[in-house]
Amino acid sequence: MNHHWSLMPVRPVPTARLAAELGVSPLLARCLLNRGLDQPGLAASFLQPRLRHLTDPFRLPNMAAAVDRLFQARENAERLVLFGDFDVDGVTSAALLSEVLQRLGWNVDVYLPHRFEEGFGLSREGVENCLVKFPTRLLLAVDCGSTATATIEWLRQQGVDVVVLDHHQVSNPAPRATALVNPHLLPPTGPDGGEPDSVFRDLCSVGLAFKLAHALVKRGREVGLPAALKLDLRPWLDLVALGTIADLVPLTGENRILATAGLNRLNLAERPGLQALTFVAQTESPVGVSEVAFQLAPRLNAAGRLEDAQAALQLLLAADLATAEPLARELDSRNRERQKIERAIADEVIGAVTAKFNAQTDYVIVEGQLLWHIGVVGIVASRVVRAFHRPTLILGGDGQDWRGSGRSIEGFDLAAALRDCSDLLVRHGGHAMAAGLTLKPEKLDALRDRLNALARSRLKPEQLQPTLRLDGEVTLGELTLERLEELASLGPHGMGNPPAHWMTRRLRHQRPPQRMGKEQQHAKCWVTDGDASLEAIFWNAGESALPADTFDLAFEPQINVFNGRRSVQLKILDWRGARA
C-alpha cells in the first residue's frame, strides 16, 4: 500500500451545530460535513432517501419530445424496437422498458447487439441487422447513440425515427435524433439560476429508463390511459439498483434514492431470474452493493462479454423459476470461463507493464495484442488501474480493427481525451471514468504517445498516487457498536459515496499478528491505543510487511458477525510508522 493520506479538517463548531440540529453523534455529523451536507435539511434528506424526493422526469432534456413520439407510436399501433447494449446497464434498461411499455400497451421488440460481430453502441452493422429482424419506423436506442451521428443520419434516410436515451457523453455535433434524452445536454444552471437539475447528471441509462417510464405513466394518467392509472413502477426498482451499481455511477443524488429503494425491492426476491441468480451465485442475504457488484453483475455481464447478452435479458424477463434456473446456471458457467480468460490476459498485461513501467513518465497505459479477448479487456483495464493507478486502455482483436476499453483515475476525463485523439480512432465513446474505442493496430503507439502528452498536461504528479480520504481521527474507544450502526445510515456505499474511513495514531500490537487464508494471503491483528483494543483485518495482504512497533492506522470500521456474536472489527486500508 502506498497511499497519500488526506485527513479532512476538524470543524468543531459546525460539527456540534449539525449534530445538535439532527440529533446525531459528532462522528456522523463530521461525515455529513465531509460530504458537503452542511445544511440540516440536505443532511436529513441524505440520511433518509425517499422516492417522493425524485425530480420530475420532464425536466430532463428532450423528455417531452421522446414521450410525444412514443405516444404517437402507441396510437398508430407502430412497432417500437428497443436497441440496447450488452452490459448490465444496457440489459436492465431494456428489460425494464420492454416490460413497462408492454404493460402500457406498446408493441415492443428488443434487439441487443453482438459485441464481436456488431461492435459497441449504435453501429451501422447493428442497426442493419436489427431492421432485418424487426422492421420498424421507430427505434429507441438505450444506453447508446449519443455519438452515433452517421448511423442516426442513415436511419433518418431510411425513414426511421430514433429516440436516444443515454448517459454517455454527446458528440459535437450531436446526432440529429427525434429526441436525444441525455443529462449531458443540461445547461450549467437550472431554470431558476441555480443547479436543481444537477441531480440528473450522474444517472446511468437504467436510471434514465426509470425516468422515461415515470414520464410515460404521468402522461398516460393525464390522458386517462387505464393501464397507466393502475401501474405501480416500484417492482422495477430491482433492475434499477442492478444497473446503477454495476455501472459504477456515483451513489449520490437520485442514484442514492434509486439504489436504496432498489436494493430493498431486490431483497423481496420477487423476480424469478434474480432469485435463481442469487441462488447460483450463493449470495448471502441481505443483498447489498457488494453482492450486486461482485456476484450478480459479473454473471449478468458474462453473457455479453463472451457471446451475446440475450441470456441475461431472458433471465431478467423469466416468468418462473423453471425458466430462470437453467439460464442462471448458464451465466454462472460463462462467468467462470470469463474469469479464466481474464486472469490469463491480466497476468500477461501486468507482467509486460511491470517490466517497462516508468512511474515518472508513464501517465497513461495503453496495451494491445492480437487475439486478446475483447469481451474482458475492460475488466483487465480495471485491474491494471488498481495495480498502477494510471488511466489504462486495453485492446484486442482478430481482424483489421482492434477494439478496446479504458478505465481512468480521478482528474482525467477519458472520453474527452479520446475525443482529442479522434483522428487516430475508428470509433470511440463513453464517459469520464470509462470508455470504449476501435482503432487500427498500427495506430496503437501514436495513441499511447498522444494520450500521455495529454495526461502530462492535465494531471499533476500527486494525482498519480492513490489518495486515501479520511473522515477524521478517532480513538478506538469511540468505535462502539452503537456508533457503527448509526454510521450505517450513510449507506448504501459505492462510487461517490464511500464508507466512513478513519485513522488512529500511535497504535501497538496487543499480541502478534496472524496470517490467515489458504495461501496465508490475509492477516489478523489485535491493536490497542492503550485504552481500548480491537481486532483488525488486513485483507489480501499478500507478502506485504505488517505494521511493527508503534504505527498509525487508516481503516474502515465494520460490524463483524460470527456465531451470532456482533463485534467491532477494523478493515485495514493502510498503515505507516507513527508520526507526531
Of the listed ranges 192-206, 214-228, 434-448, the least confidently predicted one is 192-206
> Rounded CA gap, 146 and 336, in Å?
33
Residue 504 has φ and ψ, to the nearest 5°, of: -135, 135
CB atoms within 10 A of CB 541: 21
In a domain, residue 196? The reply is: yes
Identify whether residues 533 and 417 lie together within a single domain. no
Whether residues 68 and 125 fall in one domain = yes
Kindly tell me if the per-residue pLDDT of 13 is higher than 90: yes
The answer on 544 and 488 residing in a single domain is yes
Average pLDDT over residues 417-425: 96
Q: Confidence class of residue 429 from pLDDT cuts 50, 70 and 90?
A: confident
Q: Model confidence at 479, in pLDDT bands (50, 70, 90)?
A: very high
Query: What is d(CA 220, CA 105) in angstroms, rounded to the nearest whole number?
Result: 11
CB 89 within 8 A of CB 142: no
Question: 219 near 58, Cβ under 8 Å?
Answer: no
Arithmetic mean of pLDDT over the chain: 94
The whole-number average pLDDT for the span 400-420 is 94
- The distance from CA 112 to its chain's CA centroid, rounded to whole angstroms, is 20
DSSP-assigned beta bridge partners for residue 145: none
Judgement on whether residues 68 and 108 belong to the same structural domain of the protein: yes
Residues 6+ apart with CB under 8 A from 193: none
Chain position carrying cell 398516460: 220
Q: Domain holding 131: CATH number?
A: 3.90.1640.30
CATH number at residue 363: 3.10.310.30
In three-state form (DSSP H/G/I as H, E/B as E, the rest C), the secondary structure along 359-410 is CCCCCCEEEEEECCCCCCHHHHHHHHHHHHCCCEEEEEECCCCEEEEEECCC
> Stretch 460-464: mean pLDDT, rounded?
92
At which of 407, 440, 464 does a domain end? 464
Boundary residue ending a domain (172, 200, 234): 234
Residue type, 435: A
pLDDT tops 90 at residue 473: yes
Q: What's the sign of the alpha-carbon dihedral 336, 144, 431, 354?
A: positive
Query: For the chain, what is the total number of helices (H) and then of strands (E)?
Result: 21, 18
Establish if 177 belongs to a structural domain: yes
Q: pLDDT tier at 471 (50, 70, 90 boundaries)?
A: very high
Q: Do 96 and 182 belong together in one domain?
A: yes
> Does any domain span residue 444?
yes
Domain count, the chain: 3
**Does 139 have pLDDT greater than 80?**
yes
Q: Is 59 in contact with 200 (CB distance < 8 Å)?
A: yes
Residue 81 lies in a domain: yes
Q: What is the mean pLDDT of residues 361-368?
A: 97
Question: CA-to-CA distance for 124 and 133, rounded, in angstroms?
Answer: 14
- 78 strand-pairing partners: none
556 shares a domain with 511? yes
CA end-to-end distance (rounded Å), the chain:
21
Last residue within a domain, chosen from 437, 464, 491: 464
pLDDT score at 190: 56
Confidence of residue 1 (pLDDT cuts 50, 70, 90): low
Is 445 a residue whose pLDDT tops 80?
A: yes
Residue 247 is assigned to a structural domain of this protein: no
* pLDDT at 119 exceeding the cut of 80: no
Q: State the pLDDT at residue 191.
A: 54
- In whole angstroms, how large is the CA radius of gyration of the chain? 25
Half-sphere exposure of 100 (CA within 13 A, CB side): 29
Q: Which of 390, 420, 392 is nearest to 405 (CA)?
A: 392
Helix (H, G, I), strand (E, B) or coil at 290: helix
Max Cα-Cα span within the chain: 77
Mean pLDDT of 270-293: 96
Q: Is residue 306 part of a domain?
A: no
CA–CA distance, 44 with 276 (Å, rounded to integer): 37
Residues 90 and 230 in one domain: yes
Whether residues 23 and 141 fall in one domain: no
| 88-103 helix and 310-317 helix, angle to the nearest 10 degrees | 40
Q: Which residues span the domain enclosing 72?
A: 57-234
Here the cell at position 46 is 441524505
CA atoms within 13 A on the CB side of 458: 20
Read off the pLDDT band of 580 (50, 70, 90). low
State the DSSP H helix or E strand holding residue 74, giving kind and residue range, or none if neither. Answer: helix 63-75
3-state SS, 51-63, equals HHHCCCHHHCCCH
pLDDT at residue number 347: 96
Query: Cell digits for 432?
Result: 469520464
Q: How far is CA 409 from the centre of its chain?
A: 14
Question: What is the grid cell recorded at 262?
Answer: 432498489
Is 40 strand, coil or helix?
A: helix
195 and 105 share a domain?
yes
Indicate whether 272 belongs to any domain: no
CB burial of residue 423 (10 Å; 0-12, 13-18, 19+):
exposed
Contact yes or no for 151/129 (Cβ under 8 A): no
Together in a domain, 383 and 433 = yes
Q: In this structure, is residue 295 part of a structural domain?
A: no
SS (H, E, C) 177-242: CCEEECHHHCCCCCCCCCCHHHHHCCCCHHHHHHHHHHHHHHHHHHCCCHHHHHCCCHHHHHHHHH
Q: What is the DSSP letter of 494?
A: B
**pLDDT score of 420 more than 80:** yes
pLDDT, tens digit (0-9, with 9 covering 90-100), for 16-71: 999 999 999 999 999 999 999 999 999 999 999 999 999 999 999 999 999 999 99
Cβ 27 vs Cβ 489: under 8 Å: no
Q: Is the peptide bond before 173 cis (omega within 30 degrees of 0)?
A: yes
Mean pLDDT of 114-129: 87
Packing angle of the helix pair 237-246, 253-266 (nearest 10 deg): 120
Cis-peptide, bond into residue 492, ω within 30° of zero = yes
CATH of the domain at 520: 2.40.50.460
Same domain? 403 vs 519: no
Does a cis peptide bond (omega within 30 degrees of 0) precede residue 183? no
Instruction: Name the percent of the chain lying above pLDDT 70.
Output: 98
Residue pair 82/110 in contact (Cβ under 8 Å)? The answer is: yes
pLDDT score at 272: 98
- Whole-prediction pTM: 0.91
Helices 40-47 and 12-22, axial angle in degrees (round to 10): 60
Could you tell me the pLDDT band of residue 398, with boundaries at 50, 70 and 90?
A: confident
Per residue in 515-563, pLDDT (tens digit) is 998 888 899 999 999 999 999 999 988 777 788 889 999 999 999 998 8
Same domain for 92 and 217, yes or no, is yes
- Name the band, by pLDDT with cuts 50, 70 and 90, for residue 117: confident
Rounding to the nearest 10 degrees, give the CA dihedral for residues 366, 371, 376, 382. -20
Question: How many other C-beta atoms can be found within 10 angstroms of the C-beta atom of residue 195?
Answer: 13
- Asked if residue 553 lies in contact with residue 535, where contact means CB atoms within 8 angstroms, the answer is no
Percent of the chain residues past pLDDT 90, beyond the cut: 86
pLDDT at 507: 96
